[in-house]
Amino acid sequence: MRVANGARRVVVIAAVSAVAVSLASCSSSKKSSSGGGNGVLKGASFTVGSKEFTEQKILCEITAQALEKAGATVKRQCGLSGSATVRSALTSGRIDMYWEYTGTGWITHLKHTTPIHDSQGQYDAVAKEDLEKNKIKWLPAAPFDNTYALGVKKDNLPDVKTVSDYAALVNSDKSKGSLCVATEFVSRDDGLPGLEKAYGFKGEKTSTLDEGAIYNSIKKTDPCNFGEVFTTDGRIEGLGLRVLADDKKFFPVYNPALNIRDSVFQKYPKLADVFAPISKALDTKTMQGLNSDVDNQGDSPAQVATQFLKDHG
């Protein structure tokens, strides 16, 4: 939830047509729209998908609008529920591409139990194995790392600064260690089960919520003091939360990369040229800002995607 940080400049994608601003949030949209001009993908048709949270919807819109600018016709299926659902949509051919995180690909889809903590090493391993075993092409990863973390309100329980501190709190006072989590985090090897094992705690009071509701619940300290968060989420700063240090480095690296069925990529190899500069421009600060524009400022994923492509065109 992913290959060095730093400011980047996109040199391929030009200013995106302002008509894209009128698009509503792409969640669950199946509407097709056609690109114009004589772009490198003129005449091509693609279905683009994503998971259901803000960052994924933004990446879905960036992808769709970039494809349209390159001349393609695009059908959006942004906002599919859960990693397994969108991965199945890709492998079955219901969608042609979506952004996946290297850690998720390695742990969840390829079923490894031990992450590779070096960003480039993790990318190289997952890209090689997924192509060989499943014919899924990973384009070069973006530099931002949207890993899991535990969050807490800034002024709440100030002595708890690391996950080791949290584990000690749970083991001494389970009610103070109350934790809000999303359904997927409860069952993932790189989620709560593995975290408990790595840090030696168990039996914390948990509440299962939608991912979007966790942040406000932490702010209100109701029904939990702590919660599962994503490190690039704009609500961490916007709601006055802080992130506990993963002092044992349990969580994998989660650099995002556009996943494409290899049969699609072989037919349209120019996809690599279209998305290389986009990936390079998506550093941590940029992604946090895009997420914040949606979650804190009320912009739609389509609006922030359009502005991103204009700014980096």
Q: Is residue 5 part of a domain?
A: no
Shared domain for 109 and 48, answered yes or no, is yes
pLDDT of residue 27: 41
Where does a domain end: 243, 274, 296?
A: 243
Shared domain for 169 and 231, answered yes or no, is yes
Where does a domain end: 184, 212, 243?
A: 243
Q: Is residue 45 part of a domain?
A: yes
Shared domain for 96 and 217, answered yes or no, is no
Shared domain for 207 and 92, answered yes or no, is no
pTM for the structure as a whole: 0.82
pLDDT of residue 212: 87
Where does a domain end: 217, 243, 269?
A: 243
Q: Is residue 278 part of a domain?
A: yes
Q: Is residue 7 part of a domain?
A: no
The residues near 41 (Cβ < 8 Å, ≥ 6 apart) are 35, 67, 70, 71, 72, 268, 270, 271, 274
Shared domain for 104 and 215, answered yes or no, is no
Q: CA 1 to CA 227: how far, in whole Å? A: 15
Q: Is residue 249 part of a domain?
A: no
Core vs surface per residue 97-132: b (16+ CB within 10 A) or e: bbbbbbbbbbbbbeebeebbeebeebbbbbbebbee
pLDDT of residue 14: 36
Shared domain for 275 and 292, answered yes or no, is yes
Shared domain for 234 and 267, answered yes or no, is no
Shared domain for 127 and 200, answered yes or no, is no
Q: Is residue 210 part of a domain?
A: yes
Q: Is residue 138 part of a domain?
A: yes
Shared domain for 76 and 157, answered yes or no, is no
Shared domain for 24 and 130, answered yes or no, is yes
User: What parts of the chain have a pLDDT lower than 70?
Assistant: 1-32, 34-38, 313
What CATH number has the domain bearing residue 51? 3.40.190.10
Task: Reduce the DSSP state of residue 59 to 3 states and report it.
Answer: helix
Domain that holds residue 278: 18-145+254-311
pLDDT of residue 36: 57
Q: Is residue 297 part of a domain?
A: yes
Q: CA 144 to CA 4: how far, in whole Å? A: 8
Structure confidence by residue, pLDDT tens digits, 248-300: 999 999 999 999 999 999 999 999 999 999 999 999 999 999 999 999 999 99
Shared domain for 134 and 204, answered yes or no, is no
Q: CA 48 to CA 27: how far, in whole Å? A: 12
What CATH number has the domain bearing residue 161? 3.40.190.120
Number of domains present in the structure of the chain: 2
Angle formed by the axes of helices 284-295 and 54-69, nearest 10°: 110
Shared domain for 229 and 281, answered yes or no, is no
